[in-house]
Amino acid sequence: MKKRGLDRVLSLRKTLRIARWEVARSAGALDRQTVALALVLVAVGAVVGPTVVAEGPGLDDGIYRVGVEADSPYHDVVQHSNQFVARPDDASASALKAGEIDILVPARGEPIPRPTRKGQAAYAEFRTAVQEYNDELMGDEANQSAAFPVAVELLYESRAGSALTGGTGGGAGTAGSGDGGTDGGAGTGGDGGTDDAGAGGVTGGSTGGNDGQVQAPSLGGSAIVSGSTSGSPSTISPPFPFASLVLAFLFIVPMNFIIQAYGSTIINERINRRGELMLVSPVSRRDIIAGKTLPYLAALLVITVAIAILIGGTAVSVAAVLPIALLFLAATFVGGMFARSFKELTFVTITVSVFMTSYVFVPAIFTDVTPIALISPLTLVVMDLQNEAVTWGQYAFSTVPFYLTAVALFTFGAGTYREEDMFSQRPVHQKALDAIATRVRNKKTVALVTALFLPFVFVAELLAIAVLFIIPKALSIPVLFGAIALIEETAKSIHVYAGFEYARFERSPKTAVVLGLVSGAAFFLAEKGTLLVQLVQLQDLTLGANAYPDAAAAGSANVDPLVVLGLFLLPLGLHTVTATISAVGAQRSKRAYAGAFLLAVLVHVAYNLGVTQLVP
């Protein structure tokens, strides 16, 4: 026991020493111009990001000029909006005609727009600004039920049901019973006020109760507050977390720079053969890889903590970004080990950057709309910045696949951290087979490698659901079944094929059947972890229910328990049969494996089509 503890201490010291060498070497490779540019970019991001979120993009600030007297009730409206600039000295018809102002607000009567496209646009925005200003004034009233007789709350549901569900509004106003129309909502008012609400639950203009404040008369129109899902009907709009997305994107940008440096140091050791010194040293591959990765991971964590502090995030944001950083580094490590030149490395790192950024950023746009958003840990950052509670189930669903995939990538990449792969010019696909084959030695390791592929399967299937979410059901379901079959059959058979190609196993039908049964059973046991989808109700979506029928059946009260048990056990037969089909082909030749693999995919698709008929 003491010896094991001593070995761990020595391993940690070796890792830290390698990390220190990596920092010294990388720091020496940076010139002053590069450091200065990096500091400037950090400073710009630190200033611009929060400013954009706090004040908006600012592209239309002061775009419209309004001729309005200082004592006009509309003057405060103009001052309140960033889009308008008040021109008291130009409040005349001649100034409007000369184009010095876009809107003229006379002492009496309606505002007059300039007869141009810009004038009409300015007038439309001016109406909206007046409504927003009135709503804010009414929001300061002590009697909110009198100020807003009708209140609506929208609840977003799955696409299969109604899109929106309305709430009820009460208060001291006389309001008609509102039919929600296309919004599926209804507004119901109270008694004893002065305002009316017509059909559809939409309030009319409000007056009174201003406590002596100057209130601009209403011109109609509607005020749209981005992302509002409750309140008066005029303030309701679909949610779009622009501010949180901008801030969350600040976490992603530094990763794209750091992985470039990380990938460069990996391939530099291979091309210049500096890695030979590491390979002959009394240090394990695990210590070498950990030591070289640690400085870059630490840099990402420092930047993440700094950004979180700057924008008011909590530990949730840091914990959500950590698996993203690990996966970025793991994918770059594998790319650095597989690439044969800096040109190939550039292609790999750009591909990794684009794919990973899209994968984690795009789903976060739908944070308030669908559980699909939770496939990205960045969604947790958005929720944290919106002061929403994050449950352990949501955190596990978003981050565990990233953690496991990062571990799997580092594991497979470490398989090529040896002389015959590091300093050779073998094709990328051949190195990929090498990385897999190094982990396959016997039947037990076949099962372990199958389980190790599960994170890739889970992430790929979630991505397929997210991509196909917007496609019509008639097309998305068959495509999803095909994608799932390809992904899962690859995970169950590619390492068996690599084992036969590298003579790890005897080429015989009996051996192939045994390996197929082992791989299929291991996949079945590991796959039950995908029932994690129930933690975020992903099975409530049409694509989620088809991708995970056992989870959908388990969560449905209308499904017979025997059907649930059957859906739980039937995959065992499927996975063992299809894995055996592929293994029998793999033991013969590459061409036979391709044919057997295609047959296994077809069997898998047919099974999926049949099973979906059992789940209502």
Pairing of strands 64-67, 103-104: parallel
Pairing of strands 164-165, 155-156: antiparallel
Between these two residues, 566 and 412, which has the higher pLDDT value? 412
Cβ proximity of 310 and 44 under 8 Å: no
Residue with tokens 């005020």, as numbered in its chain: 223
pLDDT of amino acid 30? 60
> Cα separation of 411 and 331, whole Å?
11
Q: For residue 144, give the nearest of 219, 209, 47 by alpha carbon.
A: 209
> Cα separation of 393 and 385, whole Å?
19
C-alpha dihedral (126, 132, 135, 137), degrees to nearest 10: -80
Q: Is the pLDDT of residue 489 over 90?
A: yes
The per-residue pLDDT for range 390-409, each reduced to its tens digit, is 888 788 888 888 998 899 89
> Cα separation of 37 and 24, whole Å?
20
Residue with tokens 């100020």, as numbered in its chain: 147
C-alpha dihedral (351, 356, 358, 363), degrees to nearest 10: 160
Residue 595: pLDDT band (50, 70, 90) is very high
Pairing of strands 178-179, 186-187: antiparallel
Burial bucket for residue 302 (CB in 10 Å: 0-12, 13-18, 19+)? exposed
| Helices then strands, each counted (H, E), the chain | 23, 12
Q: Is the pLDDT of residue 500 over 90?
A: yes
Crossing angle of the two packed helices 315-338 and 428-437, in degrees rounded to 10 = 110
Residue 564: pLDDT band (50, 70, 90) is low
| Sign of the torsion angle spanned by Cα atoms 201, 205, 208, 211 | positive
Which has the minimum average pLDDT: 8-22, 98-112, 142-156, 238-252?
Answer: 238-252
Per-domain residue ranges for the chain? 18-56+240-436, 59-140, 143-205+216-238, 439-616
Residues ≥6 apart with Cβ < 8 Å to 398: 320, 374, 375, 376, 377, 379, 380
pLDDT of amino acid 295? 92
Which has the minimum average pLDDT: 157-171, 238-252, 576-590, 597-611?
Answer: 157-171
Residue with tokens 């070498």, as numbered in its chain: 288
Over the range 19-30, which residues count as b (16 or more CB within 10 Å of their CB) and which as e?
beebeeebeeee
Residues ≥6 apart with Cβ < 8 Å to 218: 130, 131, 134, 205, 206
> Cα separation of 321 and 156, whole Å?
27
Cβ proximity of 334 and 409 under 8 Å: yes
Q: Is the pLDDT of residue 257 over 60?
A: yes
Element (H, E) at 605: helix 590-611
Over the range 77-107, which residues count as b (16 or more CB within 10 Å of their CB) and which as e?
bbeebebbbbbeebbeeebbeeeebbbbbee
Give whole-number Cα distances, 75 to 79, 154, 217, 513, in Å: 6, 34, 12, 83
Q: For residue 496, give the nearest of 583, 432, 416 by alpha carbon.
A: 583
Residue 163: pLDDT band (50, 70, 90) is very low
Dihedral class, residue 177 (left if φ above 0, else alpha if ψ from -120 to 50, else beta): beta
Per-residue pLDDT, averaged over 240-268, amounts to 76
> Cα separation of 456 and 466, whole Å?
15
| DSSP label of 339 | -
Crossing angle of the two packed helices 315-338 and 285-311, in degrees rounded to 10 = 140
The per-residue pLDDT for range 20-34, each reduced to its tens digit, is 888 887 765 566 666
Per-residue pLDDT, averaged over 351-370, amounts to 74
